[in-house]
Amino acid sequence: MTPTGATADPADRRLETTTTVGTISNPEPATPDSVHLRKAVEAYLGRHPDEREALSKLLAALGRPDDGPSGTPLLGHVTCSAAVVDHDLRVLHIAHRGTGALLVPAGHVEAADRTLLTAALRKVTEATGIPASALSLTPQFLGAPADIIVDESAARPAKGAPAHRHYDFRFVFYLTQEPPPAVVLRDEEVSGCRWLPLGEVASPSLRAKLLGAGLDGRPEPVNASVLIHDGAGRYLLHLRDHRPGIWEPGVFALLGGGRKHTDRTLRETLLRELAEEVPGLRLEGLEPYAVEEATSEDGLRIPLQVFTGRWRGNPDRLPLREGVLLRWFTPDQLERLRLSPGLQDLIHEHASHSATAGEPPASAPPWDEDGTTVLNGVGVHLHLEDDDGRVLLGLRHPASAYAGNTWHFLAGRCEQESALTCLVREAWEEAGLVIDPADVELVHVVHVVDSPDGQPLLQLVFRAHRWKGVPEVREPDKCLAWEWWPRHELPDPIVPYAREAITGILQGRAYTELGWEARP
């Protein structure tokens, strides 16, 4: 990328428009607002931490996550670019009529743009006629910027424009059609177009990012959901919230969600989403079933990997953290519901081919006959003390499904792995710490239940006597900072059971119960 204060490569110049929507110095926040912009920058820096200094002025302008909609004023415009990649790994470039320069479609963020991604898609359609429905996200970049460029623009007194900066957020999309659709030039400033190989992409910064990403040009699923059945003809459906910003609001759908960069597989994506949406839901026989297609709010084509899994519990006893409710339905009830597109056909197809339809599960999980027993979940927590006896805690992101804006241990939920394996993995993924299981001991257990109907959790706290690395924020969408705190001066707010565990460790106790007094 081009650092602030440097001269941008000519290939990095964007088309100019007269709109000032997206100007960071506006007293009223633009759409997308500074919170959305900061999330995009932090997601990018999570993959490119060496560029933090180059983007420091942009971060200063956007303020801290808890500063509200605006930060320190900074004269600059937000623009978005789109690299459209076809099956032959060629990138669409358009020719600027005035300069003849080849560049990817780009332009300013406008008031109607819901997100930066929306702005990039809009510019592709405006310049080339290619609709969002002909594009999909890449598994390498997903919905995060692939590149962020800072470009200095000189003052133009004749137009009353002072010197300012452009902050260009660059996104990457795969074409879902082969051969590529015909390009219909719609922008009066565009004189032609060319498909260039990755090695000839005009922008050096974007070229390096694309070449290093391992692109193959083939769209593949970047979302995962699960068709949950009880083995006896019922299917568990999730009623989504009916509010802006929710994909398919107010409809019954499957549980699941989008892949993150930290997810190694779509199975891992699904397990993470289930842990966030419905902690305590444990499925049997989880396996891939079908690949479906959906359309995002932005109009993108979304290949969706659907898994199947068995469960036989009472959904009213599950702690639902996203959406309105979970309910069992039989296929004959579906026509009375407002469903996610294609879901009715998917369920009928599964029901017609299920060998267990109308029969009890072949290997039933240990629920009571009425299906109300809830299994205990297991969480792992890392207790680190420095040479001064201070404890390492992380400030959770405000948007976290659990304990937003609250200090907590480095922690994770055990899935299909041992507790120590989970601890070692989470330490590396969240903070870049390398821990040898031989240097770890169990120092406290908290058996906690957050609410009368919540899932009981066994929270295991392990102390590591040695480790390698300095704590760093590697998942900015989950954690904002790591800090060392004196054991007798813990921050506020802090997760209650984390405080109880630290107190118990100080007192030499190995076990604490929390929340059970409210349990019926």
Kindly list the domain boundaries of the chain, sorted by start residue.
10-211, 223-353, 377-518
Residue-level pLDDT at 504: 94
Spelled out in words, what is the top-level CATH class assigned to the domain 10-211? alpha beta
223-353 under CATH 3.90.79.10, yes or no? yes
What global pTM score does this model have? 0.61
The predicted pLDDT at position 374 comes to 59
- Cα separation of the two ends of the chain: 58
pLDDT of residue 373: 53
pLDDT at 244: 72
Distance from C-alpha of 132 to C-alpha of 125, rounded to nearest angstrom: 7
What pLDDT shows up at residue 175?
93
Number of other residues whose CB lies within 10 A of the CB of residue 66:
10
DSSP 3-state percent helix, strand, coil across the chain (nearest 5): 25, 30, 50
Residue type at position 493 = P
To which residue do tokens 């948007």 refer? 399
pLDDT at 160: 64
Q: In whole angstroms, give the CA distance from residue 270 to residue 165.
A: 40
Q: Are 10-211 and 223-353 the same fold in CATH?
A: yes
Q: Which two tokens stand for residue 54?
A: 């180059």
- For 380-401, give one letter per residue: b (16+ CB within 10 A) or e: bbbbbbeeeeebbbbbbbeebe
Beta carbons of 450 and 370 less than 8 angstroms apart: no
- For 458-491, what is each residue's pLDDT tens digit? 999 999 999 999 999 998 888 999 999 999 999 9
CB 148 within 8 A of CB 55: yes
CA torsion sign for 330, 335, 341, 347 is positive
Residue 466 gets which letter from DSSP? -
Segments of the chain with pLDDT less than 70 = 1-32, 63-76, 98, 153-156, 158-164, 187, 245, 355-374, 451-454, 518-520
Question: Which uninterrupted H or E stretch holds 223?
Answer: strand 223-229
CATH of domain 377-518: 3.90.79.10
What residues does 287 pair with on adjacent strands? 308
CB-CB contact of 203 with 103 (8 Å): yes
By the 8 A CB rule, do 376 and 513 touch?
A: no
**From edge to edge, which strands make up the β-sheet containing 440-448?**
410-413, 377-383, 457-464, 440-448, 511-514
81 has which bridge partners?
106, 170
Residues 366, 357: Cα–Cα separation, whole Å? 20
The answer to whether 205 touches 291, Cβ cutoff 8 Å, is no
Which two structure tokens, joined as six digits, stand for 128? 């080339």
Helices of type H across 106-180: 116-128
